[in-house]
Amino acid sequence: MLAPGHRVTRAPGGMAPGEFREWGHRFVDWVGDYLEEIEAYPVVAGSRPGEVRDALPAEAPLAGEPFDALFEDFRSVIVPGVTHWNHPAFFGYFAVSGSGPGILGELLAAALNVNAMVWKSSPAATELEEVTLGWLRGFVGLPPAFTGTINDTASTSTFLALAAARERQLPEAREDGMAGAPPGRVYTSREAHSSVLKAVHALGFGRRGVRAVATGPDRAMDPAALTDAINHDVTSGFRPLAVVATIGTTSTTAVDPVGAIAGIARSRKLWLHIDAAYAGVAAALPDKRHHFAGWERADSIVLNPHKWLFTPVDCSVLYVRDPAQLRAAFSLVPAYLETPETGVTHLMDHGLALGRRFRALKLWFVMRYFGQEGLRTILAAHIELARRLAGLVDAARGWERCKPSTFSLVVLRRSPAGVRGPERDALNTAIMERVNASGAAFLSPTEIDGETWLRFAIGNIHTTARHVDATWEALREAADEVG
Amino acid sequence: MLAPGHRVTRAPGGMAPGEFREWGHRFVDWVGDYLEEIEAYPVVAGSRPGEVRDALPAEAPLAGEPFDALFEDFRSVIVPGVTHWNHPAFFGYFAVSGSGPGILGELLAAALNVNAMVWKSSPAATELEEVTLGWLRGFVGLPPAFTGTINDTASTSTFLALAAARERQLPEAREDGMAGAPPGRVYTSREAHSSVLKAVHALGFGRRGVRAVATGPDRAMDPAALTDAINHDVTSGFRPLAVVATIGTTSTTAVDPVGAIAGIARSRKLWLHIDAAYAGVAAALPDKRHHFAGWERADSIVLNPHKWLFTPVDCSVLYVRDPAQLRAAFSLVPAYLETPETGVTHLMDHGLALGRRFRALKLWFVMRYFGQEGLRTILAAHIELARRLAGLVDAARGWERCKPSTFSLVVLRRSPAGVRGPERDALNTAIMERVNASGAAFLSPTEIDGETWLRFAIGNIHTTARHVDATWEALREAADEVG
């Protein structure tokens, strides 16, 4: 029996349209207030581990609950446990932020709830993905030879690219697997994202399947070291398969020399994948284009609109020169998925996932709402904020900057005279934790040559000079206090 | 220069809160109308290939566009190209449907836009995922020994499970890869989902890495054939790794004998993964529990709330007995992701993807809004509709049903006296295409022993007896017309 006051939803039917509208309007107002008042929230959740879990019952309610109760718990239990990526002083990781049109695109996508596994299961979702990724390709100046697909994250996009690389480079593994094949090797720099190793390991090449190539003074891959590594591996019985170059590494946004690497990859007949997950959209800016010279010679490129193009997570785009190679790795059509259309794209053939959300809708809204010029203006403003911050750091005594600051990330540390090694690392960790604990801003650390630095990542759509200046001031105050 | 009448969005800032509220309210009203008037839409999009693409410009606009223009194109270009999974006469594939609370959960998740890669990057997203998957575990009667994680699709969940299986069963591949390891083998029935082969191939075992075990009369895996296959492989130099059993196959919802298979897997020390992506939630119904006997002995289980628990795509749950085995396959923590907390879950360690949307929110809303009893009532109603349809088919001359109809799928075909083989297949395809083209309903085909059958999948939250009866009538009329 149900407790009095609880409402049971009749089956079938679900939520009545009137109730949906009522709560939809209330939630839209809440979101509007939330985005307007975002600076009133601490950036990082102050929760202790287990606090959210302990505030909720261990079992689902037997009877249905009124929406008031859900909304109340959302506000009193969930929101205080949220780290606010929307906060304009969120400077950690990469400062990923959505935007109004992106949020509204997700609302419509969730309502339509199509599953674009084959063309017929939602022609508009499939074709809008093609159209929008054509727009994005043009925006960043890639040639039409590239075909895009949206995946959840760059880790998945890189995994799919390397699976296609294996299919082309190690065809003997297609039927019989890798047990009889030579050990394969993927080359990437020491500064590459951990997702490369994760992908190579998942594909069955083991931890030794990745060879970390040495970097030069700017933490960019050294092409001579790449050639040496390939030569050494060939004589040792390894089969070189692919090179993963990065434009904008996670740690410091270092830029691998893509042109030189593309030449090596082509001459050695290796697959070239480019990880431009964060920085890729900066190719839309004329004064940043030179960092991308040669990327059009890659076999595959990942760039994430959910990172720095104001599109809610998840939206990672994988561009490939030859989608037939993705299909060779992933196309399998059982009878229950056969459809009569020809000449259409079935998104399920381009990756591991069969089901596909209508993720193109939010990106389409974002690109139309802002327009190419609007997006360029925001990206350029973020880079200008980083330049401004770099100047402040360079002018401050006892602070140091990891140069160059190529895009919108500034990597810095406190480095007073006479403080070195683990003592300096501990000082910087203490400064960062003090600022983060204040709730006023959030930065995350990195390691360069084994030493601790602080990453000040600009990219949130609401960030202005005021937020950058105040956080820089907070870092200096924290340094005085903990120093 | 921007054309007059176009608005440029200032950077930074994005959409003003007032504009967000205005359009949010208009979209909520549109969604309310859409769900209320869903039966006015044709189920399957009538688009010809390329129609949506051709209606849109080839390049992104230079200037930002007003939201009126986006909304107008959404209604006039996108919606006519959508196949309406929300329509109560959508009976194809599995009849996946969202629900009001699920849609509203997605709205809030998109607004918060957290990325729950590590605990600290959103404690509430991580802990609500733990809590809600504990609720779901209890709902379907699994023991607390299982730990859940949300992935995008069952294909990904199965891939992750088999990656963990490889890590445990073939530890020599961890460092050196599979080049020196014996060829591995994964066993599944001939009726298993194509995602098993896709996953095994992606993991590097090749197409021969899957051994399709023979099925018995109900299209369920034959345990004796499984034992024979394992024995044969061992003597042939293969390394048996894992068995994938299915509770509710895609083609006919056949149920593999999980208890017997679990016994074999345990005695041969193989990983047991269970694909209950569609049917898993039916374990919450006492009269369906016996189909699941023994699944609690599995190493991993996938079930998808986005399939038959009224949660918008994507939401696939992977339960594992020992999450340390997932972490062994996927945990890699670079310096820029290190955080000081101990005893907390970092979701990035449980799969390939680093970034994670706040997908638990919609499932939490759905489970609270309907309650366990409400969900059981809807599931039971769907099964009752299938039983009713099965009775109608069985009573009709010249129609045949593929028995049993265990859950909410009925597999049927027109089979008039004297019509057999390819002629009967063509007849059924023609009937299905006639009904689908009418826009009144949608069914999808399958193949059983090389012959064509029609799948009538019930599962949409808005489906009632009226929709089932009308579609059955439409099939009979189509049979008269094409026969």
Q: At residue A427, does pLDDT exceed 80?
A: yes
What's the pLDDT tens digit per position in B424-452?
Answer: 999 999 999 999 999 999 999 999 999 99
A269: left (phi over 0), alpha (psi -120 to 50) or beta: left
Residue B23 Cα, gap to closest chain A Cα (Å): 8
Q: At residue A2, does pLDDT exceed 50?
A: no
Query: Which chain B positions have a beta carbon within 8 Å of A137's beta carbon?
Result: none
Q: Do B12 and A381 touch (CB under 8 A)?
A: yes
Q: Do A445 and B374 touch (CB under 8 A)?
A: no
pTM for the structure as a whole: 0.96
Residue A336 Cα, gap to closest chain B Cα (Å): 5
What's the pLDDT tens digit per position in B192-222?
Answer: 999 999 999 999 999 999 999 999 989 999 9
Q: At residue A360, does pLDDT exceed 60?
A: yes
Lowest mean pLDDT among A341-350, B187-196, B357-366, B397-406: A341-350
Query: Which chain A positions have a beta carbon within 8 Å of B329's beta carbon?
Result: 201-202
Q: Chain A within 8 Å of B39 (Cβ-Cβ)? A: no
Q: Taking CB atoms and an 8 Å cut-off, how many pairs form between chains A and B?
A: 573
What's the pLDDT tens digit per position in B135-171?
Answer: 999 999 999 999 999 999 999 999 999 999 999 999 9
**pLDDT level of residue B340 (50, 70, 90 thresholds):** confident
Residue A173 contacts residue B184 (beta carbons within 8 Å): no
Q: At residue B8, does pLDDT exceed 80?
A: no
Backbone angles phi, psi at A31, to 5 degrees: -65, -45
Whether the ω angle into residue A314 lies within 30 degrees of 0, i.e. cis, is yes
Span B288-297, average pLDDT: 98
Residue A50: closest CA among B355, B147, B126: B126
| CB neighbour class for B37 (10 Å; exposed up to 12, middle 13-18, buried from 19) | exposed
Spatial distance between the Cα atoms of B151 and B162, rounded to a whole number of angstroms: 14
Q: At residue A222, does pLDDT exceed 80?
A: yes
Q: Chain A within 8 Å of B466 (Cβ-Cβ)? A: no
Q: Do B447 and A335 touch (CB under 8 A)?
A: yes
Amino acid occupying residue A182: P
User: How confident is the prediction for chain B on average, in pLDDT?
Assistant: 94
- Give B19 or B12, the one with higher predicted confidence: B19
What's the pLDDT tens digit per position in A182-203?
Answer: 999 999 999 999 999 999 999 9
Residue A61 Cα, gap to closest chain B Cα (Å): 5
Q: At residue B5, does pLDDT exceed 80?
A: no
Nearest by CB to A99, from B14, B33, B342: name it.
B14
Q: Chain B within 8 Å of A80 (Cβ-Cβ)? A: yes
Span B459-469, average pLDDT: 96
Query: Quick one: tokens of B141?
Result: 């009667």
Residue A377: closest CA among B2, B397, B172, B103: B2
Q: Chain A within 8 Å of B246 (Cβ-Cβ)? A: no
Q: Do B124 and A82 touch (CB under 8 A)?
A: yes
Nearest by CB to B370, from A2, A64, A84: name it.
A64
Residue B334: closest CA among A432, A213, A193, A245: A193
Q: Chain A within 8 Å of B188 (Cβ-Cβ)? A: no
Q: Chain A within 8 Å of B195 (Cβ-Cβ)? A: yes
Query: Quick one: tokens of B479?
Result: 């049979």
User: What pLDDT is recorded for position B141?
Assistant: 98
Query: Which chain B positions have a beta carbon within 8 Å of A425's beta carbon?
Result: none
Spatial distance between the Cα atoms of B479 and B397, rounded to a whole number of angstroms: 12
Half-sphere exposure in the Cβ direction for A297 (13 Å, CA):
18
Residue A447 Cα, gap to closest chain B Cα (Å): 6
Residue B244 contacts residue B186 (beta carbons within 8 Å): yes
Nearest by CB to B155, from A202, A333, A354: name it.
A354
Nearest by CB to A334, from B194, B378, B380: name it.
B194
Lowest mean pLDDT among A166-175, B290-299, B467-476: A166-175
Q: Do A63 and B203 touch (CB under 8 A)?
A: no
What's the pLDDT tens digit per position in A383-425?
Answer: 999 999 999 999 999 999 999 999 999 999 999 999 999 999 9
Q: Do B153 and A355 touch (CB under 8 A)?
A: yes
User: What pLDDT is recorded for position A217?
Assistant: 86
Query: Which chain B positions have a beta carbon within 8 Å of A64's beta carbon?
Result: 368-371, 373-374
Residue A211 Cα, gap to closest chain B Cα (Å): 12
Query: Which chain B positions have a beta carbon within 8 Å of A154's beta carbon?
Result: 354-355
Closest-CA residue of chain A to B326: A202
Q: Chain A within 8 Å of B224 (Cβ-Cβ)? A: no
User: What pLDDT is recorded for position B1?
Assistant: 32
Q: Do B136 and A179 touch (CB under 8 A)?
A: no
ipTM: 0.96
Only one residue has tokens 């949020």, namely A103
Residue A100 Cα, gap to closest chain B Cα (Å): 5
The residues in A 269-308 lying below 8 A from B, measured between CB atoms, are 306
Lowest mean pLDDT among A341-350, B53-62, B92-101: A341-350
Q: Chain A within 8 Å of B147 (Cβ-Cβ)? A: no
Interface test with chain B among A194, A200, A333, A452, by most B beta carbons within 10 Å: A194
User: What pLDDT is recorded for position B411?
Assistant: 98
**pLDDT level of residue B339 (50, 70, 90 thresholds):** confident
Q: Chain B within 8 Å of A467 (Cβ-Cβ)? A: no
Q: Do A371 and B61 touch (CB under 8 A)?
A: yes
Percent of chain A residues topping a pLDDT of 90: 89
Q: Do B32 and A17 touch (CB under 8 A)?
A: yes
User: What pLDDT is recorded for position A172?
Assistant: 87
Query: Which chain A positions have a beta carbon within 8 Å of B464's beta carbon?
Result: 12
Span A323-344, average pLDDT: 80
Q: Chain A within 8 Å of B154 (Cβ-Cβ)? A: yes
Q: At residue A175, does pLDDT exceed 50?
A: yes
**pLDDT level of residue A13 (50, 70, 90 thresholds):** low
Q: Do A202 and B163 touch (CB under 8 A)?
A: yes
Q: Do A203 and B204 touch (CB under 8 A)?
A: yes
Q: Chain A within 8 Å of B93 (Cβ-Cβ)? A: yes
User: How confident is the prediction for chain A on average, in pLDDT?
Assistant: 94
**pLDDT level of residue A335 (50, 70, 90 thresholds):** low
Q: At residue B16, does pLDDT exceed 90?
A: no
